[in-house]
Amino acid sequence: MNKMITWLQLTGAVIVVYLIWERFRQWRLAGNLPGPSTVPFFGNALLFLGCDVQDFVDRVTQLQKRYSNICRLWLGHQLIVCVAGSKTLEIIFKSNDNLNKSVHYEFYNDFLKGVFVAKDEKWRGLRKIVNSVFHNNNVENQLNVFNNCFLVLSEVLEKRSGGETFNIDPYIHRCLLDIVCKIFASSRIDIQRKDGVTYSEDVRLATQLTNHRFAKIWLHSDFIFNHTAAGKLKKATINKILDFGMDVINERREILNEIASSTSEDVNPNSKTFLGQMMDYAEARNFTDRELSMSISDVLIAGSDTTAGAISYMIMMLAMHEDIQEKVYGEIQDIFGDSKRPVELQDMNRMQLLERVIKEVLRHCPPPHIARRVDNNIKLENTTIPAGSTLYIMLYKLHRDPQYWSHPDSFYPDHFLPENIERRPKYTFLPFVSGLRACPGQKFSLMMMKIMMVTILRKYRITTNVQPSEVDLSLVFMLEISNGYNVQLTLR
């Protein structure tokens, strides 16, 4: 017995010495990183007292201006290293290390439990599924779905055209959700014409309520947060989000039953959509339908919300910059003339100006930051980011850095003229980030954006009363215009 106690004491002592050594190592390496001076216990936390997540991003951006492109912050015992320089990002994204998301993403775990937040081996398995879905997707089939869904949108918008101002954003979100459900889950639900689909609004609310926790340390405890009004509202909202996922799953099961009892040779029971593969994954792990719903919501949300946000922003930019809109319309006319034919794959490369407009939109409103857990030291040119810290990658700051962009705060698609791209260092434009954990939906989303804009601009002229100086951006997943996407549509 005594021997066992001695062993336990010894093991405990070794663990404590190891933890102190680790912490000392982190402090020593962090000491070489530039950042504001700290006070005992709090570190730099007092600089962020009372901040919501938006203020937090603003303050970090200000600090980073002062401390160049690397800035060290201690929030209590947590070390955060903010980075936004192209050379540093090149080192980070070229490495196969440090792919796990930071601990902050765990606040999303009550409605996102798929590839977006997964770690280590679980992530590798899920990412394989997602990659295979993108790899095997039939592009012609995708184009048909895009063209059909955008035609429905165009019809739905007809009721709102004729000069009346309205917020176009909910229509765009619903259309994108329609596409994602059709392509990734073979859904037949007519989301755009169905009443009461509030998925995107629910996702926005759940995200805002999650973001609300980040900068308020006392809300980091699930127990405390779940007892607040925000926590209760989040729970109810998440139930709606997951119910939607379960409807899609049940619909798929019915379709599979139909296929099983069908004698038609047209249907191919072996063709596996993303949902089909996730159903197998869930079955092998005895998931409940709610758990399966949580595991597919990453793709439903990442696939629809991000692209919809970018499209709504592009619509506003083109409405505010009518000269650019007319030039894009001219390009579309050159390709399609007055024909109403659907957009085909070979049209894509001909939309050069539209592509520059899309890139400029993504420069303006990327996901403003992402955060990774540093599992292994990151050696930079003159310094080291220590293991155990959180890497906070400031895409917004990178995309507005006057070092790289001649018109950082203006809407200036010429930033993406070939000669200007040539002049910029690599790793200065990263809306989809880069490396092994980059967005798998990049090509898919660029294609959707092009076809969507062609469908709208062929039919409508877009105008707005909002001035560029009135645009106020706020953080949800991406940056959004907080005062709405208020436009008028006039038939051409």
219 binds ligand HEM (CB under 6 A): no
Query: How many C-beta atoms lie closer than 10 Å to residue 12's C-beta?
Result: 10
Among the listed ranges 27-35, 56-64, 154-162, 300-308, the one in contact with ligand HEM (CB under 6 A) is 300-308
d(CA 45, CA 48): 6
Q: What are the beta bridge partners of residue 486?
A: 167
**Whether the Cβ atoms of residue 354 and residue 453 lie closer than 8 Å to each other:** yes
In the Cβ-directed half-sphere of 188, how many Cα atoms lie within 13 Å? 7
Query: How many C-beta atoms lie closer than 10 Å to residue 318's C-beta?
Result: 28
Nearer Cβ to ligand HEM (116/231): 116
Among the listed ranges 23-31, 338-346, 421-429, 435-443, the one in contact with ligand HEM (CB under 6 A) is 435-443
Q: Which pair of tokens denotes residue 64?
A: 């980073």
437 binds ligand HEM (CB under 6 A): yes
Task: Please pick, from the candidates 56, 74, 107, 116, the single residue that binds ligand HEM as defined by CB under 6 A.
Answer: 116
Nearer Cβ to ligand HEM (85/114): 114
Q: Which of 161, 167, 461 is nearest to 312 (CA)?
A: 167
**Whether the Cβ atoms of residue 201 and residue 170 lie closer than 8 Å to each other:** yes
Q: How far is the CB of 414 from ligand HEM (least distance, A)?
A: 21
276 binds ligand HEM (CB under 6 A): no
Q: Which of 451, 463, 162 is nearest to 321 (CA)?
A: 463
**Whether the Cβ atoms of residue 127 and residue 99 lie closer than 8 Å to each other:** no
Query: How many C-beta atoms lie closer than 10 Å to residue 224's C-beta?
Result: 13
43 binds ligand HEM (CB under 6 A): no
The identity of residue 21, as a single letter, is: W
Task: Please pick, from the candidates 43, 231, 245, 303, the single residue that binds ligand HEM as defined by CB under 6 A.
Answer: 303
Nearer Cβ to ligand HEM (73/446): 446
d(CA 58, CA 331): 38
Size of the site for ligand HEM (CB under 6 A): 25
**Whether the Cβ atoms of residue 298 and residue 108 lie closer than 8 Å to each other:** no
Task: Please pick, from the candidates 197, 299, 314, 475, the single residue that binds ligand HEM as defined by CB under 6 A.
Answer: 299
Residues 338-367 that bind ligand HEM (CB under 6 A): 362, 366-367
Task: Please pick, from the candidates 127, 290, 359, 400, the single residue that binds ligand HEM as defined by CB under 6 A.
Answer: 127
Is 24 in a helix, a strand, or coil? helix
Among the listed ranges 32-40, 44-52, 248-256, 439-447, the one in contact with ligand HEM (CB under 6 A) is 439-447
316 binds ligand HEM (CB under 6 A): no
439 binds ligand HEM (CB under 6 A): yes
306 binds ligand HEM (CB under 6 A): yes
**Whether the Cβ atoms of residue 289 and residue 253 lie closer than 8 Å to each other:** no
Task: Please pick, from the candidates 149, 433, 457, 462, the single residue that binds ligand HEM as defined by CB under 6 A.
Answer: 433
Residues 365-384 that bind ligand HEM (CB under 6 A): 366-367, 370
Among the listed ranges 228-236, 252-260, 335-343, 425-433, the one in contact with ligand HEM (CB under 6 A) is 425-433
Nearer Cβ to ligand HEM (115/319): 115
Task: Please pick, from the candidates 83, 89, 130, 282, the single residue that binds ligand HEM as defined by CB under 6 A.
Answer: 130
In the Cβ-directed half-sphere of 212, how many Cα atoms lie within 13 Å? 16
129 binds ligand HEM (CB under 6 A): no
> Is 439 annotated for ligand binding?
yes
445 binds ligand HEM (CB under 6 A): yes
Task: Please pick, from the candidates 444, 455, 475, 481, the single residue that binds ligand HEM as defined by CB under 6 A.
Answer: 444
297 binds ligand HEM (CB under 6 A): no
Is 135 in a helix, a strand, or coil? helix
d(CA 297, CA 139): 23
The secondary element (H helix, E strand) that includes residue 371 is strand 370-373
Q: How far is the CB of 436 from ligand HEM (least distance, A)?
A: 8
302 binds ligand HEM (CB under 6 A): yes
Task: Please pick, from the candidates 64, 237, 297, 307, the single residue that binds ligand HEM as defined by CB under 6 A.
Answer: 307
115 binds ligand HEM (CB under 6 A): yes
Is 272 in a helix, a strand, or coil? coil
Task: Please pick, from the candidates 298, 355, 360, 480, the single residue that binds ligand HEM as defined by CB under 6 A.
Answer: 298
Nearer Cβ to ligand HEM (88/306): 306
**Whether the Cβ atoms of residue 88 and residue 399 lie closer than 8 Å to each other:** no
d(CA 473, CA 184): 30
Dihedral angle of Cα 264, 270, 275, 280, to the nearest 10 degrees: 130
**Whether the Cβ atoms of residue 79 and residue 49 lie closer than 8 Å to each other:** no
Pure H helices in 261-387: 274-284, 289-320, 322-336, 352-364
Nearer Cβ to ligand HEM (85/440): 440
The secondary element (H helix, E strand) that includes residue 124 is helix 120-136
Q: How far is the CB of 6 from ligand HEM (least distance, A)?
A: 46
Q: Which of 200, 106, 131 is nearest to 438 (CA)?
A: 131
Nearer Cβ to ligand HEM (98/488): 98
487 binds ligand HEM (CB under 6 A): no
**Which residues sit at the interface with ligand HEM, rule CB under 6 A?**
101, 115-116, 127, 130, 298-299, 302-303, 306-307, 310, 362, 366-367, 370, 431-433, 437, 439-441, 444-445
- Binding site feature residues: 439
- Binding site feature residues for heme: 439
